[in-house]
Amino acid sequence: MVQTDPVHRGRTVAGTTVAGMTTSTIAPGGSTAPPPVEMRRTPRRHAPLPRWWRDATAGAAWAVTLAVVALWVAGGGVQDLGSWAGALTSTGRLTGLVASALLLVQVLLMARVPWVEQAWGQDELARTHRLVGFTSFTLLLAHIVLITLGYAASSTRGVWGTAWDLVVTYPGMLLATAGTAALVMVVVTSVRRARRRLRYESWHLIHLYGYLGAGLVLPHQLWTGADFLDSTTATVFWWGLWATTAAAVLAFRVGLPAWRSLRSPIRVLDVRPEGPGATTVTVGGHGLRHLPARAGQFFQWRFLDGPGWSRAHPYSVSAAPDGRTLRLTAEHVGDGSARLATLRPGTRVLLEGPYGRLHGGVRTRRKVLLIGAGIGITPLRALLEDLPQGPGDVTVVHRVRSRDEAVLADELRALAAARGARYLQVEGHRIAGRASWLPSQAAHLSDRQALLDIVPDLADHDVFVCGNDGWMEAIRTAALEGGCPPDAIHRERFAY
């Protein structure tokens, strides 16, 4: 195997090793070389939002929660704690109110509101969404139990009789019960072990029931909840919160993507195989010139090619956007991605996005390390093409199990040579029994040592990482141990 010297274009050094790992580049093959950077049209872009927007949106979420508690106190919640039955019922009201507020915050986090998404990035949003969702669900269960026990304490029907009476007698409770069942289904399938057993398409369909569940629990709160009815301030607050959430979902998850995709049709231009088990799709249309897309970001893609078109799939762009075309490269890991190989030119495309903070706008240093595993190299290939750089500023590390699985390797080599970057391909199966980014032949090295052998001045680099969760965490740990500041490590998770 060989390693190309990026300074002396075309010269190869046989048997070269880096950090004890055999590395190589792939000679040019059948892939078409990308156009020179100066020939590409720069699409319209928005400047990245400053990080304080993230803190501001988090502060707003906390303010909503504190407002809920304040309204509970103002409504006599504390005074009701004087008796056993009152304490159970009042605490149940509070847990239900906070659960409702967090449910709405959870929906808002994933409503694709551009300012929220740009400030957080999908990686952090998804993790926060998950944390808020499980907290809301736990409080919802506590609300059900406490309210039932509180009413039972002042009733002769007992716990089960009281529960039945609440469901069949109080307005909106049957709907709330159905909504709770929908939320239980969503939460159960969101547990990591359960998610691994589900296809993405099945999980996505089930997850949509979360919106149904949120909608079904609303009527009982508005029809029977004293905290909604006894105070004009509380009524305005809750109606405003629900209306804001609904408007955000309709505007940014439905309206904006539909408007962008339908005002100027976007269609498939080209479909080609990209090695074994992967496909590259290029789309084009006048509508793309209105998208403020950046290299490294991703879209939710829908191809109107038949059954299953309604399910969106997240794919990164694998070439720098030029305002005329967008390109994705995806591995065949499910029904949706495998279907890409059967697309025909002319197929209509619906897009949501762009999303993510894995782009050049978050760059903080002149030098950059782009390190990707498997199909995770695709957004980094786009970044390599797009990033302003001088000779030696950018290093690309492509982690693959074998040379045959090195998707886009030819293009990466050509781009690296054209732009004066260094491209290393690290091959081999992962180390058994160790959470590491290294191949088995480098098991004698620590993750930190290997990374510093490749990039000795790692502390002076921004590190852009894309791959599976465990692998990215190993890279992040190694980079931190190697002196790279946390704010210079950029990654995006795509696991559902």
Domains of the chain, residue spans? 2-30+359-491, 52-259, 265-355
Cα distances from 239 to residues 183, 227, 229, in angstroms, run 21, 12, 11
CA–CA distance, 25 with 403 (Å, rounded to integer): 9
Stronger pLDDT, 49 or 386, i.e. the higher one: 386
Stronger pLDDT, 31 or 246, i.e. the higher one: 246
| CATH 3.55.10.10 is right for the domain spanning 265-355 | no
Q: Is 67 exposed, middle or buried (0-12, 13-18, 19+ CB in 10 A)?
A: middle
> Rounded mean pLDDT of 418-440?
91
Residue bearing tokens 């508005």? 222
Q: What is the pTM for the complete model shown?
A: 0.74
Per-residue pLDDT, 4: 36
Please name which of 285, 286, 283 lies closest in space to residue 305, comparing C-alpha atoms: 283
Residue 387, classed as helix, strand or coil, is coil
Residue bearing tokens 């498997």? 374
The crossing angle, in degrees rounded to 10, of helices 200-207 and 173-190 is 150
8 Cβ neighbours under 8 A, 6+ residues apart: none
Residue 159, classed as helix, strand or coil, is helix
Q: Is 181 exposed, middle or buried (0-12, 13-18, 19+ CB in 10 A)?
A: middle
Which of these ranges, 90-104, 115-129, 354-368, has the smallest mean pLDDT? 115-129
CA dihedral (287, 289, 291, 293) positive or negative: positive
The string of pLDDT tens digits covering residues 361-394 is: 889 999 999 999 999 999 999 999 999 999 999 9
Please name which of 419, 417, 410 lies closest in space to residue 387, comparing C-alpha atoms: 419
Confidence of residue 44 (pLDDT cuts 50, 70, 90): low
Per-residue pLDDT, 58: 85
8 A C-beta contact, residue 399 and residue 270: no
How many C-beta atoms surround the C-beta of residue 412 within 10 A?
27
8 A C-beta contact, residue 327 and residue 282: yes
Per-residue pLDDT, 309: 79
Q: What is the DSSP letter of 113?
A: -
Residue 422, classed as helix, strand or coil, is strand
8 A C-beta contact, residue 464 and residue 376: no
252 Cβ neighbours under 8 A, 6+ residues apart: 111, 112, 113, 114
Per-residue pLDDT, 228: 65
Please, what is the average pLDDT of the chain? 81
Token digits of residue 193 = 């072990």
8 A C-beta contact, residue 394 and residue 455: no
Token digits of residue 356 = 């993510």
pLDDT exceeds 70 at position 482: yes
Question: What do you get for the CA distance between the two ends of the chain, in Å?
Answer: 37
Share of the chain above pLDDT 70, in %: 81
CA–CA distance, 19 with 180 (Å, rounded to integer): 54
Stronger pLDDT, 206 or 142, i.e. the higher one: 142
CA–CA distance, 361 with 103 (Å, rounded to integer): 32
Which of these ranges, 62-71, 278-287, 299-308, 454-463, has the smallest mean pLDDT? 299-308
Confidence of residue 78 (pLDDT cuts 50, 70, 90): confident
CA–CA distance, 486 with 112 (Å, rounded to integer): 25
Per-residue pLDDT, 226: 60
Which of these ranges, 10-19, 100-109, 349-358, has the smallest mean pLDDT? 10-19
- CATH of 2-30+359-491, picked from 3.30.1050.10, 3.40.50.620, 3.90.950.10, 3.40.50.80, is 3.40.50.80
Token digits of residue 365 = 């240093």
